[in-house]
């Protein structure tokens, strides 16, 4: 936060050809706010958080997102809500995509179940 309560979120986006990039915006006891930055074709495998609620909000680009058994091609302004215990994934970025990710409370290792294997949150 560097002493400021304000951030310009799109300016924090960063992409890497090898893997999806994460940037934390806020981390408190109650809340994690970050960016997941997907180059076209990148993915985040299906996983669930046992004791945390999470949502994705697509800020730019487009991605195919699954929550539970629902699948959507999600563009800017689409919010995907994954309550605790519900499996969710970014199946594929259809364009370079910047996705706001919010979790409450922030993830702890013991609260995550990956199905069948996957990257960090």
Q: Which residues bind a copy of itself (CB under 8 A)?
A: 1, 4-11, 25-26, 28-31, 33, 52-53, 55, 57, 59, 65, 67-68, 70, 72, 74, 77-84, 86, 100, 102, 104-105
Rounded distance between C-alpha atoms, residue 30 and residue 4, angstroms: 19
Rounded distance between C-alpha atoms, residue 16 and residue 55, angstroms: 23
| 109 Cβ contact list (under 8 Å, min separation 6) | none
Closest CA to 56 of 120, 99, 2: 99
> Least CB distance from residue 77 to a copy of itself, whole Å?
4
> Least CB distance from residue 18 to a copy of itself, whole Å?
26
**Nearest to a copy of itself of 1, 14 (CB atom):** 1
**Nearest to a copy of itself of 19, 107 (CB atom):** 107
> Least CB distance from residue 24 to a copy of itself, whole Å?
12
**Nearest to a copy of itself of 20, 89 (CB atom):** 89
**Nearest to a copy of itself of 69, 117 (CB atom):** 69
| 6 Cβ contact list (under 8 Å, min separation 6) | none
Rounded distance between C-alpha atoms, residue 74 and residue 53, angstroms: 19
């Amino acid at each position: 936060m560097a002493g400021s309560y304000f951030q310009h979120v799109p300016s924090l986006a960063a992409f890497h050809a090898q893997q999806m990039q994460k940037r934390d915006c806020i981390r408190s006891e109650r809340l994690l706010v970050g960016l997941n930055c997907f180059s076209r074709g990148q993915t985040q495998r299906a996983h669930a958080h046992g004791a945390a609620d999470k949502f994705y909000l697509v800020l730019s680009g487009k991605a195919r997102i699954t929550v539970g058994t629902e699948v959507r091609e999600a563009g800017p302004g689409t919010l995907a809500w994954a309550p605790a215990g519900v499996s969710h994934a970014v199946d594929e970025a259809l364009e370079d995509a910047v996705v706001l990710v919010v979790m409450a409370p922030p993830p702890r290792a013991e609260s995550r179940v990956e199905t069948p294997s996957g990257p960090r949150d």
